[in-house]
Amino acid sequence: MHRSSRESLFMLFMGSFLIIYIVWPLMGLFLRADWDLVFSSYKDSEIVGALWRSVWTAAAATGIIALFGTPLAYFLARKNFRGKAFLEAVIDIPIMIPHTVAGIAVLMAFSPKTSIGASLVKIGLSPVNSHLGIILACMFVSIPFYVDAARDAFYGVPSRIEKAARTLGASFPQVFIRISLPLARKGIISGLIMSWARGVSEFGAVVIIAYHPMVAPTLIYDRFATFGLKYSTPVAVQLIIVCLGMFIIFRMMSAGKRREDIGND
C-alpha cells in the first residue's frame, strides 16, 4: 500500500472516533424512541409550531447578524488598530459565557423597565415572552459564529485584487459587492449556516427572556419536565430530522458551488 494511503487511513481511523461519538448517541435516541408517538406528533400543532418558530426566528436573527456583521467582519480583516484583539474578544464572549447568563444579560438590556425596552413596548414590540425576545436571544449567542467565519473568509481575499480594481476606477461599493463578497462567499455561507444552527438549538438564553411562545428546545424541556423522557423524545427526534435535512441542503448547495469553482479553474 502506498505510504500516503496508509497515512490517510490512519488519519481516518483516528478521526472516526469523533464520528462514532456523534452517531452513537443519535442512534440510541432514534432506536429507543416510540415511533408511534413520533408519527402522531406530526399532527401536534404545538410541536409543529415550535419547530417552525425555531427555524424562522433563527433565520431572522441570522439575517440581522449578516446585515451588520458583514461590514464588521470586513473591517476586522482589513484593518489593524490598537484594541483590535480586545474587540475580537468581545465578539467571542457569547461563546464563553453560560447561555443562561447570556439570557439574563439580554433580558436586563431589553426589559420593559429599561429605556430601550420601554421604547419597544411603546411602538408595540414586546421584548419579553415574544418572537422578538427569541430573536434577540438568538442574535446574542450566534454573532461570533458568523462574524468569525466571515472575517476569516475576507482574510483569504487578496487585498491586491481589491486595490487593483480601485486603481482602475471602481468604487469601494463596487469592489466590495463584485469582488470581495463573491471571493469570500464560501466562508460567509459557512458562517450563515453555523449562525442559523446555533439559533435553532438555543435554549438557555431563550428560556430566560421568552419561555413563551415556545421554540423546539424549550418545548423539549417542558415536556421532559412535565411528562418525562417518553414524551420529550418525539420532539427531539423531529428537531434532529429538521436540522439534518437543512444541513444536507446547505452542504449540497455549498458542494455545488465548489464543483463550479473547480470546473472554472
164 with 231, same domain: the answer is no
Q: Tell me the per-residue pLDDT of 161-196, one tens digit each, with 9 for 90 and over.
A: 999 999 999 999 999 999 999 999 989 999 999 999
Q: How far is CA 167 from CA 163, 175, 180, in A?
A: 6, 11, 15
Which residues, in sequence order, are CB contacts of 94 under 8 Å at separation 6+?
102, 140, 141, 142, 143, 144
54 and 254 Cβ atoms separated by less than 8 Å: no
Same domain (yes/no): 98, 117: yes
Which among 83, 81, 90, 69 has a CA at the least distance from the CA of 152? 69
pLDDT of residue 162: 92
Number of domains in the chain: 2
Alpha-carbon distances of 50 from 45, 54, 159, 230, 247, rounded to whole Å: 8, 6, 44, 18, 19
Q: d(Cα 255, Cα 246) in Å, to the nearest integer?
A: 14
Q: Which amino acid is at 146?
A: Y
Residue 19 lies in a domain: no
Q: Pick the more confident residue, 254 or 138.
A: 138
Residues 248 and 170 placed together within one structural domain of the fold = no
Average pLDDT, the chain: 90
pLDDT at 7: 77
Residue 37 lies in a domain: no
| Distinct helix (H) and strand (E) counts, the chain | 14, 0
In a domain? residue 250: yes
pLDDT of 75-88, one tens digit each? 999 999 999 999 99
Q: Is 265 part of any domain?
A: no
Residues 204-212 have a mean pLDDT of 94
Residue 18 vs residues 14, 83, 183, 197: alpha-carbon distances, Å: 8, 37, 31, 20
Same domain flag for 146 and 218: no
Note if the bond before 213 is cis, omega within 30 degrees.
yes
Instruction: Provide the pLDDT for residue 122.
Output: 94
Residue 245 has pLDDT above 70, yes or no: yes
Question: For 48-68, what is each residue's pLDDT tens digit?
Answer: 999 999 999 999 999 999 999
Residues listed for the chain: 265
Question: Dihedral sign, CA of 228, 231, 234, 236?
Answer: negative
* Domain-located, residue 41: no
What contacts 48, CB < 8 A, 6 or more positions away?
Answer: 42
Predicted confidence (pLDDT) per residue in 4-33, tens digit: 677 778 788 888 999 999 999 999 888 888
Examine the domain organization and report whether 195 and 111 are in the same domain.
yes
Residue pair 72/146 in contact by the 8 Å Cβ criterion? no
Domain that holds residue 231: 214-254
Q: What is the CATH number of the domain that holds 177?
A: 1.10.3720.10
Query: What pLDDT, on a 0 to 100 scale, did the predictor assign at position 144?
Result: 96
Closest CA to 231 of 219, 239, 243: 219
Asked if residues 71 and 60 have their Cβ atoms less than 8 Å apart, the reply is: no
Backbone angles phi and psi of 125, in degrees to 5: -115, 100
